[in-house]
Structure formats: structure tokens, C-alpha cells
Amino acid sequence: MAKQITVLGSLNLDIHIPLAHMPAQGETMSLSQASSHAAGGKGANQAVAAQRLGAQVHFIGATGADDAGKMLRDKCQREGIDTSAISVLAEQNTGQAFIVLEPDGHNTIMVEGGANRQVSVAAIEAVAAQIRQSDILIAQLETNFEPIIAAFKIARAAGVVTILNPAPANNSVPAELLQLTDVIAPNETEALRLTGLPVDTTADFAAIAAVFAAKGVKNTLITLGARGVYYNVAGRTGVVAAHNVVHPTDTTAAGDTFIGAMAAQLQPDMSNIEAAIEFANVASSLTVQRAGAMDSIPLKAEVAAVLA
């Protein structure tokens, strides 16, 4: 039976803006390539990654009653994701992300939360049974803290593993939320912002994990880009090397692919953490070689072929 994963998170219309270089203040630029739009949002990307890479995913979120919202809900349904807990809010617009993409594959993202910021505690309580039946619950920070805390409380009481991807990074995450988190998974920028500590050496990584542990989070993953992934999980620690990508095309969904892929493979006791990270690293390496966010996420067979 496939692992049951619930994702609480965002659904955004991604608007990609390709630039030859970042403009200076006051500069007007003509685009050398046309802008485009696609399905995205950190929650939706992670849900699609988990679904494509072996799990059965249930999504909790919200869209507007507009064309963008319908497109996102339809996309998730086509992927096989359970969308019954995605609210449609007539008075809100669907979230949007404006993604500025540079020639080297790096991106700068500006997000308008829209309906994502209206996910309510009542909506969480309405699907409490589904959360309790899950193996893993994943959340990010593109919704408000209150529904995440409510969902994590339900999960913790039921013995469901909670994974928090603290992105985009806020200067602080409520202490109550951290105490309900089993695994925190920031990237290096988010780790720096949340702890104030450097993210350069193995000793730095261990110090960051110690800060999170002191706040109640027993397990830490830090994604380090080309340097791989540091883990301090279930009493084991180390760095799993990244898969080399010579010419990245678009890094937009790399982190989301990692989270979804890792969760799809992770055992509830986290005993296979190294293998789950290795699998997720391969998935991310395939993602960055393709354009777009959600559409760049690979299938399980593609990852398996690389590992083989």
C-alpha cells in the first residue's frame, strides 16, 4: 500500500519572467523571451513530487474561484492527488508567484498569498480524520501559522510524522509549532535566518541542529545545494552528496521536489533516512535540468533508472 501523505500548503499560479540580467533600479528592460505561466506553489509542488514519486497524497489548501484556481485544482486531480480538502473561496484571488529567471538557472521569487492566506483552522478540523490516517504531514510557510499548528497538533496526537519546510523563511517560527515538528527541513538561507548561525562547515550544521533540538525539533535536514544535504535524524548524522548537474536550467522547484521525494520514501521510524535523501537528491537533480516548476518534477521510474 502506498504511503499516505497529507500536504497542507499553497497553490500558486507561477508567472515566469526570463531576464538576461537583473535590472538596476529605475531600468526598463525588454524581455528577450516571452513570459509564461504554469501551476505551482510550494505546497502543490511538494504534493505532486510526493505523488509522482510513490505516495498517495491528500491536499489541504485554498484557491480563488477564478480560472487560475480551477487550473490548479484540475492539475492536482490529474496527478491523482485527493483535492477534496482544497477550499474554493469566491471572495479571494488564487495565489500568484512572480519568478524572475536568470540565464544561469537561478531565480528570484515574489509571492502574493491570495487564498493561501485564508486557509482556516476550521478547514483543518474538518479533515482531522484524514490527517490522523496519514503516515506523514508536510507543511511550509506560504499559509498562516494558525492552521499549520492546528494540523500538527492533530498529527502529533495520532503519531503522524510532521515535516516542516520553513520556506519562505520568516525571522521567527512560533515556539509552539517547532515543538510539534518532528523534522525541520530548511535550505541554507532559511537555516541562517532562523538561527543566525553560519552554514559553512559540518560543525556549523551540527550547531544549527542543536538550536532546533533545544526548541523541540529532534530531527534536522539542511539542503545545501551543490554541497548536498546534511542530516541529523534518528540519532544518525552526516552529509549525503548532491548529484552533479553541469548545466542547470531552472532551480525553481528543486527544494520542493526534494521534500516531496524524501517524504515519499521515508519510513515512519526514519531508519532509511540516508536512502530517502539519496533518492530525493536524484529527483532534485532531474528537476533542475528542466524548465518550470511542477512540470519539471520527475516520475519515480526516472529516479529509479538513475539510481540503477
Could you list the residues known to form a binding site, using ranges: 12-14, 41-45, 142, 187, 223-228, 250, 252, 255-256, 281, 287, 290, 292, 296
Could you list the residues known to form a binding site for K(+), using ranges: 250, 252, 287, 290, 292, 296
**Number of other residues whose CB lies within 10 A of the CB of residue 143:** 26
> Is residue 104 flagged as an active site residue?
no
DSSP conformational letter for 291: S
Cα separation, 54 vs 75, whole angstroms: 18
- Copy the grid coordinates of residue 169: 523563511
Cα separation, 305 vs 283, whole angstroms: 11
- Please report the DSSP string for 120-182 in residue order: -HHHHHHTHHHHHT-SEEEE-SSS-HHHHHHHHHHHHHHT-EEEE---SPPS---HHHHHT-S
| 65 three-state secondary structure | coil
Q: Which of 74, 82, 256, 295 is catalytic?
A: 256
Could you list the residues known to form a binding site for substrate, using ranges: 12-14, 41-45, 142, 256
Sign of the dihedral through C-alpha 121, 123, 126, 128: negative
Burial of 209 (0-12, 13-18, 19+ CB in 10 A): buried
Alpha-helical segments (H) within the chain? 42-52, 67-78, 121-126, 128-132, 145-158, 175-179, 188-195, 202-214, 254-265, 273-287, 300-307
**Number of other residues whose CB lies within 10 A of the CB of residue 27:** 8
* Closest by CA position to 142, among listed 248, 255, 250: 255
Cα separation, 247 vs 251, whole angstroms: 11
- Copy the grid coordinates of residue 176: 509552539
Could you list the residues known to form a binding site for ATP, using ranges: 187, 223-228, 255-256, 281
Residues contacting 225, CB < 8 A, separation 6+: 187, 188, 242
Residues belonging to the active site: 256
